[in-house]
Every structure is written in C-alpha cells, then in structure tokens.
Amino acid sequence: MSTFIRMAQTSQSLSLAAMEEASRQGLREADLDHLLLALVLSDQPAGRALRGLGIGIDDARRAVQEQHRAQLASLGVRAELPEPGAIVFHETDGYEWTRRASDLIARAGGRDRDGSAAAVLRELVAEPSGLISDLLRRLGTDTSEVLAALDGIAPAAEPPRPAAPSDGRVSHSSDTFVPAPASEVWAYLADPAHVPLWDAGTGSIDLQSDDRDAGDALRGTTWNAHAPTTRPDGRPLRTRKGFGRRTVELVESRAPERVVWRLGYPDAPASRPVSTAFSLAPTEGGTQVTVTVSWTRRSGWRGLLGIALRPVQGFFVWIALFQIGSSISRAFR
C-alpha cells in the first residue's frame, strides 16, 4: 500500500471517529484530545498499543472530561460541563479539525513517515502543548510507555483474513475495531432488526414478532426490506426505479465468530446480490471485525468494463466497507 493511500485511509478513519466523539460534546471542531480518542478506537497497531496499556474508550473519555474541568478551574471558571450525549455526527454537518490537529496528521504522512495511525500516535505524544501528556498521566501511563507499547506490537498480531470467495466472484475486505465483547457483537450482527443500522441501502425490514434474538435458528431465513426514504439528517432520499424493495437473507450464523448476509434487489434483475460476511476475533479491549463483501463477477462486455474500472470500483467499495464498520463500532459507543 502506498503512503498516499495509507495516509488517506488513516485520515478518513481517524477523522470520522474523532468528529463522532466531538459531536457527543456538542462541538464542531475535533482537537488533539478527540484524536487520542480516535486512536484508542483504531484497528491499527496504534489502537492495540493503547488498549494493551489498559486504555479503553470509556476511560479515555473520562480523562478528557476531567482534563477539561481542570482547565476551566485553572482559569477560575466554576461552571459544570454538560454531560456528553449520543453521537450525532451522522445526523449533522459542519465538522472540521482544529489547525493543530490537521497539521499533526499531515506531519504523520510527511517525509520519512508512512501516514499510518502509528505515525499519528508518535506525533501526538510528542506534541508540545502538554495536553496529551496530561491525559496520559490521568490514564496511568506516560509517553515512554506508549512508545514502548507501540514498538512492541508485532505484525503477527493482525487477525487472519477470511478465505477468498470461489472463482467467478469479486471480494473486498476491511477491518474495524469494536469496543465490545465478541459475543455481544455477534448477537448484534446476527439480529435482522439491526441490518438497517449498518447497511445504508436498507431503510426498514419486515419482521415477525419472533424474529428478534433468535440467533442460529434464523439461518436460511429471507425477509423483505425497503430502501431508505430519508437521509440520517432527515432530508428526503430518492430511490432509483427497481431498487425500492430488496431481500435480506441470513446465510450463515456461527456464534460467536461469523455472520453472513446476502442482500439483493428482486425488482432489478440486472443487479447482483451482494454477500456481506462478518468474521469476529477477540482482541485487546474488544473485538476485531473483518467485513468482506463479495458478488458474482459479470460476464461479457460488462465484465471487461468492470476490469477497466476496478481501481475506481475498489475505492468506492472501500468507502462502503468503511461505513459499515463505522456503523457497527458506533452502535457500541
């Protein structure tokens, strides 16, 4: 992977997580403290290093709140900070990095740096304001311990990739960290009622009263679903002809390590059903989820066109995978 692609993907993932955390506090700017929270949630070695030191997202959030209170008290301000609420980033807009945070991320992808979350963490613990040093002290650690933990993360710690689909299929995968036990994440992903929460193309699903929390018993069941009619921020959403109705099938459900869904559009015969597989593996502080989407490769001239457009297609699939992973992580935060 090139430095540019790594930096772009790292920036995208850290930006989303940091701005989601900022939105909990009613803020529109994400700063260095929100960047630290995003790194705690990262599936890259930086996140594993922080979580290996016992830094979970709840502890990191408390440290940030305590730091903000201490800063106000040092200025003689006795006002009580409002308690953070739910993540509303996906329902609102107007978010951006502070200048010092955006400059730090840019330095992590500069000369002799690879743009990874580890490079961002190294820049973060070295920043001169003292904010991160104070936060780490509140979390019972310091800069040297963080760097030592980061240096101790071996490549072998990466979870195994799922087996590639059989010939004739296209497959793309992406990893995400979820701050919850694998059993809870599996139960969430195996519940058909939650499909609209992680799949952007599903607005609602027709369920029976006994379809909730049935787990393995639902394997092989197919439901009718409907495309969303509004965006998360409430704006109306238009649906292309033939894509208003879809089918949702639970193909595989093996607790607590794997769930596979197949989603299709019965009124659009030219479309190909897409399989979305979730492979779960316990990791420090939560669960590593590998999301794999696959579909049957087209034949004839459409297949040749697909080969020509594969780099562009790969980018859009990565965005879709990233959104799925982010939605799952957000559900447990």
With vertex at residue 202, the alpha carbon angle to CA 196 and CA 208, rounded to the nearest 5 degrees, is 65
* pLDDT at position 232: 80
Q: What is the CATH number of the domain that holds 143?
A: 1.10.1780.10
Q: What CATH number should be reported for the domain holding residue 309?
A: 3.30.530.20
Residue 157 confidence (pLDDT): 44
User: Could you tell me if 123 and 191 lie in one domain?
Assistant: no
What pLDDT is stored for residue 155 in this prediction? 57
Residues 140 and 70 in one domain: yes
Q: Using alpha carbons only, how large is the chain's radius of gyration in Å?
A: 21
Do residues 142 and 178 share a domain?
A: no
Rounded CA separation 37/103 (Å): 18
Last residue in a domain, options 111, 128, 156: 156
- For residues 165 and 141, membership in a common domain is answered with no
User: In this structure, how many other beta carbons lie within 10 angstroms of the beta carbon of residue 181?
Assistant: 15
Query: What is the reported pLDDT for 115?
Result: 86
314 and 168, same domain (yes or no): yes
CA atoms within 13 A on the CB side of 37: 26
Q: How far is CA 64 from CA 13, 57, 105, 328, in A?
A: 20, 11, 20, 24
Is residue 280 within 8 A of residue 288, CB to CB? The reply is: yes
- What is the CB-side half-sphere exposure of residue 65 using CA atoms within 13 A? 15
Q: 3-state DSSP call for residue 177?
A: strand
What is the predicted pLDDT for the residue at 220? 81
Token couple for 134: 């104070």
pLDDT, tens digit, 9 for 90 and up, residues 244-297? 999 999 999 999 999 999 999 999 988 889 999 999 999 989 999 999 999 887
Clarify whether residues 283 and 152 are in a common domain: no
| pLDDT the model gives residue 142 | 97
> Which of 138, 156, 174 is where one domain is finished?
156
CA distances in angstroms from 62 to 58, 59, 66, 227, listed in the order given: 6, 5, 6, 39
Whether 144 and 254 map to the same domain: the answer is: no
Query: Tokens for 160?
Result: 């195994």
- Residues in the chain with pLDDT values less than 50: 156-160, 162, 164, 300-309, 312
Q: Which two tokens stand for residue 175?
A: 């990893």
Whether 147 and 166 share a structural domain: no
Quote the domain boundaries for residue 300. Answer: 161-331
CA distance 3 to 66: 36
Judge if 152 and 189 occupy the same domain. Answer: no
Cα–Cα distance, 137 to 190 (Å, whole number): 40
Q: For residues 40 and 175, state if they share a domain.
A: no
Half-sphere exposure of 40 (CA within 13 A, CB side): 27
Choose one of 156, 183, 205: the last residue of a domain: 156
Number of compact structural domains in the chain: 2
Return the pLDDT at 305.
Answer: 42
Q: Are residues 139 and 170 in the same domain?
A: no
Comparing CA positions, the residue from 237, 234, 264, 259 lying closest to residue 248 is 264
pLDDT tens digits for range 194-229: 999 999 999 999 988 766 655 566 878 899 999 998
pLDDT at 8 (0 to 100): 77
* Same-domain check for residues 317 and 277: yes
CA 114 centroid distance within chain:
21
Confidence (pLDDT) at 82: 76
pLDDT of residue 212: 62
Bridge-based pairing state of the strands 286-296 and 274-283: antiparallel
